[in-house]
Amino acid sequence: MTERRQVLAVIGAGPAGLAAALAAAARGVRVVLVDSAAEPGGQFYRQPAPGLGARRPQALHHQWRTWERLRDGLATHLAAGRVSCLSDHHVWCVERDSGRFAVHALLGPEQREPASVRADGVVLATGGYEKVWPFPGWTLPGVITAGGAQAMLKGGLTLPGRTVVVAGTGPLLLPVATGLAAAGARVAALVESADPTTLVRRSAHPRNAVRGARALAAHPGKLAEAGGYAAQLLWHRIPVLRRRAVVEAHGRDRLESVTVAVLGPDGRPVPGTAQRLDCDTLAVGHGLLPHTDLADGLGCRLDGAGVHVDDEQRTDVPGVWAAGEATGIGGAALSLAEGHIAGRSAAARLNGTAPDPRSWAPAARSRTRLRAFFAELDRAYAAPVRWAENVPDATVVCRCEEVTAGAVREAVGSLGAGDLRTVKLLTRAGMGWCQGRMCEPGVAGVAGCDLTPGRRPLARPVPLGVLAAPPPPDAGTSPCPGTSP
């Protein structure tokens, strides 16, 4: 009997998935990389469509050398047949049956035709998506997520308008503002509701000195990165407004301006501080959330918003690893470290040997440092105090079902809803096309409920015909469709 090579399905071709695929393929495991986009890279390394003929895509990117290393490594493994790459595959479910796995996907962009992959192990590197708190006017055309503006720029080489306000909170706003400006947009302001300089000041405070200073001192690269952004903000003449928020977006059928105000200790706009900024685009974001649907469907335990993993990046379901933003938001460098560890652990375990954690000690050290650093960042970029109380009743909080904050409050107040699920059943908030991904944080905030990740047995809409039909033959052994090296 010839021994069959073990197959590892890696879901997601961003930094975590690519690192996992490369690490596992180099250690004797056959890897099937499954990704929803046309080209590998994920959101962080999203590439312009090949038809656009970009000769300097690095002008839109950070850490390009790392991308070249990942891209070239993937090309080598593809050529050697150690990795196959299924792009344009939108995974809607991973099924576990007698210790093996079936990864069910729909072929994009139509997402009507099914495809399935059989595997002995799975790495979930499903990434994250952006969180936006609701405010009056946030449904107007021209109001987009900060990450969305960046994705459209990186992938489609297009801008949403001429004059942009970038607002919200979190480290993503910096590359978005400077990236849009470099591409020719006038960035009227970067409005940050937190004051990230507290990160440095807090570290100087005796009470926090040890933890904060350790997190910062461990990352001279991160300080240099922050300094680089500061220089670019100056270069592009982008005014930075700290401890302020966009309290309303104005316009009839599209965005025309925003009102920005200083937030007081009660979270309310301080009277006399409101200023109106003309703009045709508002790129807004309040941090990221992990994609956990596939993990949840497999029965993996979640830790807060992310997938729970051990030191080897194993979930509590045998044969399932998770890496990158899916386990908690921490950026591309942390995703690379986690993906690398997941790939090495998976390769060893699938080959029937116990992995030696000493062999990935450098990655484990980066993981420890970066997790500490992002925990500090999370504290510095906290949500504005009592933001939810200031959402007017008339403001739509669920964009799909057009449910207002008033309707959510009524469900809690008069109808006695005490959790997110009951609010959803009473108001339809979270029952629309996006399945609550966009509105869950906003609805939970306005309702005063805990934000519990919604349960979505199907990670995306699936045609009934696909659900009813027998699974298609294994697509994992077919050659890779045009992955440009």
Partner 1 sequence: MNPLDLVGARPGAPFTVTFDGREIEVLPGQTIAAALWSAGVVAWRTTREGARPRGVFCGIGVCFDCLVTVDGRPGRRACLTPATPGADIGTQAGTGHDD
Tell me the residue type at 202. Answer: R
Length of the chain measured in residues:
485
For partner 1, which is the closer residue by CB, 344 or 437? 437
Size of the site for partner 1 (CB under 8 A): 54
Q: Is 267 exposed, middle or buried (0-12, 13-18, 19+ CB in 10 A)?
A: middle
Beta strands at 281-285 and 143-145: parallel, antiparallel or unpaired: parallel
Yes or no: say if 328 and 351 are a contact pair by the CB < 8 Å rule. no
Choosing from 254, 276, 301, 455, the residue that interacts with partner 1 (CB under 8 A) is 254
Q: Which helix (H) or strand (E) holds 398?
A: strand 396-398
For partner 1, which is the closer residue by CB, 45 or 373? 45
Q: Does 55 participate in binding partner 1 (rule CB under 8 A)? A: yes
Q: DSSP secondary structure string, 73-123? A: HHHHHHHTTSEEEETTEEEEEEEEETTEEEEEEEETTTT-SEEEEEESEEE
Choosing from 6, 43, 84, 292, the residue that interacts with partner 1 (CB under 8 A) is 43
Instruction: Identify residues 399-418 at the interface with partner 1 (CB under 8 A).
Output: 399-402
Q: Does 137 participate in binding partner 1 (rule CB under 8 A)? A: no
For partner 1, which is the closer residue by CB, 55 or 207? 55
Q: Does 107 participate in binding partner 1 (rule CB under 8 A)? A: no
Q: Which range, of 208-216, 294-302, 311-319, 430-438, touches partner 1 by CB under 8 A?
A: 430-438
List the beta bridge partners of residue 285: 168
CA dist list (Å): 53 to 47, 56, 61, 127, 156: 11, 9, 16, 27, 11
For partner 1, which is the closer residue by CB, 280 or 376? 280
Instruction: Identify residues 188-247 at the interface with partner 1 (CB under 8 A).
Output: none
Choosing from 16, 144, 263, 347, the residue that interacts with partner 1 (CB under 8 A) is 144
Q: Does 437 participate in binding partner 1 (rule CB under 8 A)? A: yes
Instruction: Provide the mask over 360-399, with x wherever binding to partner 1 is found by CB under 8 A and - wherever it is not.
Output: ---------------------------------------x
Beta strands at 396-398 and 403-404: parallel, antiparallel or unpaired: antiparallel
Choosing from 14, 134, 147, 343, the residue that interacts with partner 1 (CB under 8 A) is 147
Q: Does 328 participate in binding partner 1 (rule CB under 8 A)? A: no
| Structure-block tokens of residue 263 | 């937030």
User: How many other C-beta atoms are found inside a 10 Å radius of the C-beta of residue 268?
Assistant: 17
Choosing from 75, 107, 183, 200, the residue that interacts with partner 1 (CB under 8 A) is 183
473: preceding bond cis by omega (within 30 degrees): no
Distance, in Å, from the CA atom of 41 to the CA atom of 457, rounded to the nearest integer, reads 26
DSSP letter assigned to residue 50: G
Q: Does 152 participate in binding partner 1 (rule CB under 8 A)? A: yes
Closest distance between partner 1 and the C-beta of residue 447, in Å? 20
Q: Which range, of 69-77, 180-188, 338-346, 369-377, touches partner 1 by CB under 8 A?
A: 180-188
Placement of tokens 């906003």 in the chain = 442
Q: Does 12 participate in binding partner 1 (rule CB under 8 A)? A: no
Distance, in Å, from the CA atom of 477 to the CA atom of 485, rounded to the nearest integer, reads 20
Listed in sequence order, the residues at least 6 apart from 245 whose beta carbon sits closer than 8 Å to its beta carbon are 135, 167, 191, 193, 260, 261, 263, 269, 384, 387
For partner 1, which is the closer residue by CB, 291 or 409? 291
Q: Which range, of 99-107, 146-154, 227-235, 305-313, touches partner 1 by CB under 8 A?
A: 146-154
- What does the buried/exposed string (b/e) look like for 326-349 if buried means 16 or more CB atoms within 10 Å of the residue's CB? bbbbbbbbbbbbbbbbbbbbbbbb
Q: Which range, of 11-19, 159-167, 260-268, 315-323, touches partner 1 by CB under 8 A?
A: 159-167
Instruction: Identify residues 115-134 at the interface with partner 1 (CB under 8 A).
Output: 129-130
Choosing from 1, 4, 56, 414, the residue that interacts with partner 1 (CB under 8 A) is 56
Choosing from 25, 91, 106, 143, the residue that interacts with partner 1 (CB under 8 A) is 143
List the beta bridge partners of residue 121: 8
For partner 1, which is the closer residue by CB, 132 or 417? 132
Q: Does 36 participate in binding partner 1 (rule CB under 8 A)? A: yes
Residues that bind partner 1 (CB under 8 A): 36, 38, 43, 48-57, 59-60, 108-109, 129-130, 139-145, 147-153, 155-161, 182-184, 253-254, 399-402, 432-434, 437-438
